[in-house]
Amino acid sequence: KIKACLFDLDGVIVDTAKYHYIAWRELAKELGFDFTEKDNERLKGVSRMTSLEILLEIGGVTLTDEEKLRLADKKNENYRTFILKMKPDEILPGAKSFLKELKAKDIKIALGSASKNAMTILERLELTNLFEAIIDGTKVSEAKPNPEVFLKGAEALNVQPEECVVFEDAEAGVEAALAGNMRCVGIGSASVLGKAHMVVDGLHQMDYNKLISLEKE
Ligand code: B16
Ligand code: MG
């Protein structure tokens, strides 16, 4: 029986990828190379430091660990100027009404995000109160596709992994859900998220009945 839903943040509830992109592109420019929107796809769902490693690989730049930390901080400061200006109207279509429907049906709700800025973003979107548990980048040591972030979410909600449905837009996130023995709804294209039990364009295509159709017999 499905008792809980675990949500990724970026790409599922809000599109923060566009702000990440601006901030990473600026950093690449300072380092003397181009960073395209296509390159940015590789950073979705990936942690901040791994994102930086990918960026540096694209630019063919080698740096000391100390320099890397400094640049990751710098990127994050720039990124935060954008998220601090976010408003609730940036919530992706259908997300808030689906969360509210789940609440009304007594389905538990948790966040499972790689972002260390998740709390700030939820506050700006005025969504914090809808989540019973928030597991973000400050609470995990293993990145997706490791299931840690979702297993911790299930634990915090006091439910079994088999009773959870994960909503994810990144392939690594879908893999994390499956590795955790959870059901998974992919948000985006079926060609990328084909391993998920169901793929939809966005939460506007979800409702309680569709969720329940994922229950194992
Ligand atoms: P931060 P998610 C992820 O969020 C983003 O998709 C990814 O692009 C970003 O690098 C990561 O969070 C870390 O974010 O720099 O804010 O800690 O999709 O897991 O909600
Ligand atoms: Mg995501």
What confidence tens digit (pLDDT) does each residue in 113-143 have?
Answer: 999 999 999 999 999 999 999 999 999 999 9
Of 65, 130, 52, the closest CA to residue 39 belongs to 52
Give the pocket of ligand 1 (CB within 6 Å): 8-11, 20, 43-48, 51, 76, 113-117, 137, 170
Distance 170 CA to ligand 2 centre (A): 5
Distance 192 CA to ligand 1 centre (A): 18
Give the pLDDT confidence score for residue 217 in this predicted structure.
55
In tens, the pLDDT along 57-109 reads 999 999 999 999 999 999 999 999 999 999 999 999 999 999 999 999 999 99
In tens, the pLDDT along 154-166 reads 999 999 999 999 9
Residue identifier of the C-alpha nearest atom 6 of ligand 1? 45
Of 204, 7, 169, 188, the closest CA to residue 94 belongs to 204
For the question of whether the overall pTM of this predicted structure is more than 0.90, the answer is yes
Does the ipTM surpass 0.90? yes
Q: Classify residue 110 by its DSSP letter.
A: E
Average pLDDT, the chain: 97
Q: From the CA of 168, give the closest atom in ligand 1.
A: 18
